[in-house]
Amino acid sequence: MRPVLLAGHERALTQIKYNREGDLLFSTAKDQHICAWFAHNGERLGTYQGHQGAIWTVDVDPTSTILASGSADNTIRLWEVKTGKLLKTWDFPTAVKRVEFNEDATQLLGVTEKRMGHLGTIVVLDIKIDPEAEQSDEKAMTIVCEESKATVAGWSYLSKYIIAGHEDGSVSQYDAKTGDLIYNVNVHELGSPITDLQWNQDRTYFITASKDKTAKLITAKELEVLKTYVADTPLNSASITPKKEFVILGGGQAAMDVTTTSARQGKFEARFYHKIFEEEIGRVRGHFGPLNTVAADPTGKGYASGGEDGYVRVHLFDKGYFDFNYEVERERLNRLAAQGGN
């Protein structure tokens, strides 16, 4: 496969998001604009201008009408996807590290940083998916994380729970209606922050990536750890691939240690693990720095990774990727084919 390199940012990437159909790709970096790209050929649709600081996070609603972003300038902004117009700005006392729409994009959550005497919080905003509509200023809900600040958060299936990953390596489940803490489970090594949380397609389970060099597959309802993927480097991001039963992990030497290690030792590769068997099945090289974010194409045709080197690399998988099966999987497919024949 020949990856498409997107050089729309001057600084390290922070997050990549595909839209629901997988035709658009949104990228944010520590420079002050968001880029929108066509995923099939890497053409840049446009940039969203207005943030005054590093942008940490981005999310798009399922209809690809509006885009939300969170930045170190202490704001969450709402944009019109089609034109790049700024629709709304919400101000917060501290930086916003993560935003995510719920499944029908009626609500948006934002994770705010713990700093300057403010505790880390998860705020929920009511959203209207209409570029013309007036968005409300009021926060629908605020969850304060008193013990350890939240680094990532997301909405479970049916917007039932809010799941948050914390700096101390634990995962919390909150009731999305009331904001009450239901569970808090230590899943990762104590003290190693959770760096990413991404959902499977129906949001019944999710994958977390952590600095403790592991990624874990966890159910949304029980917070039960289903699978553990062990890597040899701190992880920054993890994603579940549709179509094939794989997960993609991205990481590498911490950015500050990069100059003291060679590219080979730095482990700047996207790692593919089999989702069920927890075994590593391959790596994709290319970045010159740690991978800060990986995102799987919702159509299952490819994935994109963003690195500390400022590049986004969009990959479309070859036939070999789709043909790969474990022996048991192949046997099952053969059996199914035989049954279909009868």
Partner 1 sequence: MAAQAKHDWADDDDLDELITSDLPPPQKIQNKDGSTTIIEYRYNDQNQKVKTTRRIRYITHREVVNPRVAERKSWSKFGQSVKDPAGPAPDTTSVGENIIFRPSINWRKDAKDESKDPNAQAMKDKLKDKKVKCRICNGEHFTARCPYKDTMAPIGEAAGADVAAGMGDEPSAAGPGGAGAPGAGKKGSYVPPALRGAGGAAGAAAGERMGGKYGERDDLATLRVTNVSEMAEENELRDMFERFGRVTRVFLAKDRDTGMAKGFAFISFADRGDAVKACAKMDGFGFRHLILRVEFAKKAQ
Residues in contact with partner 1 by the rule CB under 8 A: 1-8, 21, 23-24, 33, 37-38, 41-49, 63-64, 82-84, 246, 272, 279-286, 313, 315, 317-318, 320-321, 324, 326
State in angstroms the smallest separation of the CB of 246 from partner 1.
Answer: 8
- Residue type (1 letter), 27: S
Cα gap 26→204, rounded to integer Å: 24
State in angstroms the smallest separation of the CB of 24 from partner 1.
Answer: 7
Give CA 323 to chain center in angstroms.
26
Spatial neighbors of 200 by CB under 8 A, at least 6 apart, are: 206, 207, 240
Q: Between 2 and 338, whose beta carbon lies closer to partner 1? A: 2
State in angstroms the smallest separation of the CB of 313 from partner 1.
Answer: 6
State in angstroms the smallest separation of the CB of 280 from partner 1.
Answer: 6
Q: Between 41 and 262, whose beta carbon lies closer to partner 1? A: 41
Q: Between 179 and 242, whose beta carbon lies closer to partner 1? A: 242
Counting Cα atoms < 13 Å in the Cβ hemisphere of 43 gives: 5
Could you tell me the two tokens for 269?
């590769």
Q: Between 138 and 327, whose beta carbon lies closer to partner 1? A: 327
State in angstroms the smallest separation of the CB of 106 from partner 1.
Answer: 19
State in angstroms the smallest separation of the CB of 256 from partner 1.
Answer: 26
Is residue 255 classed as helix, strand or coil in its secondary structure?
helix
Q: Between 103 and 245, whose beta carbon lies closer to partner 1? A: 245
Q: Between 285 and 332, whose beta carbon lies closer to partner 1? A: 285
Q: What residues pair up with 66 in beta bridges, in sequence order?
A: 80
State in angstroms the smallest separation of the CB of 72 from partner 1.
Answer: 20
Q: What share of the chain is helix, strand, coil (3-state, %, to 5)?
A: 10, 50, 40
Looking up tokens 């917070």 gives 223
Counting Cα atoms < 13 Å in the Cβ hemisphere of 336 gives: 6
Cα gap 306→293, rounded to integer Å: 5
Q: Between 169 and 266, whose beta carbon lies closer to partner 1? A: 266
Contact yes or no for 100/59 (Cβ under 8 A): yes
Looking up tokens 């998001």 gives 17
Cα gap 284→302, rounded to integer Å: 12
